C-alpha cells in the first residue's frame, strides 16, 4: 500500500519523471528500493526537494502547496520541473507555487505579490502590469541581486 492505495507502477513512473527523479533512481545502488537515511542524510538538498515533489505527485491530490521546490535544483532541472510537472502533470489541479524563481511568473495563471507580508497585488501577469506594477523592473532587480550574490561566493 502506498498513500492508502495499491501501488501503481505507471503512476510511480510518471511521478518520478515529472519530478526529474528518474536519473537519480538509476544512480542509486538499489534504485527505488534504496533506503533514505533519517532526514535524508544520504541525498542532496535537490534530491530531497524532488523526492518530496514526486511523493506529492504520486499521491494524486486535488490541491498542491509547493513551497519553492525549484530553489534547490539547477536552472535546467527547475525549468523541466516547472514545465513537465507544474504546467504538465498538475495542469488540471489547484497548484499554489511559492517560489523565488521569478522567471516562471509569466506562465502562471494568477500571481500574488506580497510586500511586508501583505497583499500588494493579485492577478495575471498582464493584469498586474496594467495595475502599474513594473514586473520587468522587479525581475531585473532580482536578477542583478542574484548575480551579485553569486559573485560574492
> What's the burial of 70, exposed, middle or buried (CB within 10 Å: 0-12/13-18/19+)?
buried
CB atoms within 10 A of CB 78: 20
Which domain covers residue 48, as residue numbers?
A: 1-99
| Same domain (yes/no): 53, 5 | yes
Cβ-contact 66, 95 below 8 angstroms: yes
**Tally of domains within the chain:** 2
Do 42 and 92 reside in the same domain of the chain? yes
Q: What is the pLDDT along the chain (153 residues), one digit of tens a residue?
A: 566 778 899 999 999 999 999 888 888 777 777 777 665 557 888 888 898 999 999 999 999 999 989 988 888 999 999 999 999 999 999 999 998 888 898 899 999 888 788 998 899 988 988 888 877 777 777 677 767 766 665
Domain boundary among 58, 79, 99: 99
Say yes or no: 31 and 75 in one domain: yes
- In the numeric block, the cell 495575471 is attached to 124
Crossing angle (nearest 10°) for helices 9-18 and 45-59? 140
pTM beyond 0.85: the answer is no
118 and 53 housed in the same domain = no
| 93 and 125 co-located in one domain | no
Do 70 and 130 fall within a single domain? no
Amino acid at each position: 500500500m502506498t498513500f492508502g492505495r495499491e501501488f501503481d507502477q505507471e503512476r510511480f513512473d510518471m511521478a518520478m519523471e515529472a519530478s526529474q527523479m528518474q536519473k537519480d533512481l538509476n544512480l542509486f545502488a538499489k534504485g527505488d528500493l534504496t533506503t533514505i537515511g533519517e532526514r535524508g542524510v544520504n541525498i542532496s538538498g535537490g534530491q530531497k526537494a524532488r523526492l518530496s515533489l514526486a511523493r506529492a505527485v504520486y499521491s494524486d491530490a486535488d490541491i498542491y502547496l509547493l513551497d519553492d521546490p525549484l530553489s534547490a535544483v539547477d536552472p535546467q532541472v527547475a525549468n523541466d520541473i516547472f514545465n513537465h510537472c507544474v504546467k504538465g502533470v498538475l495542469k488540471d489541479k489547484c497548484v499554489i507555487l511559492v517560489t523565488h524563481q521569478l522567471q516562471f511568473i509569466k506562465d502562471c495563471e494568477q500571481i500574488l505579490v506580497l510586500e511586508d507580508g501583505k497583499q500588494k497585488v493579485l492577478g495575471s501577469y498582464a493584469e498586474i502590469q496594467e495595475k502599474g506594477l513594473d514586473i520587468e523592473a522587479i525581475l531585473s532587480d532580482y536578477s542583478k541581486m542574484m548575480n551579485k550574490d553569486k559573485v560574492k561566493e
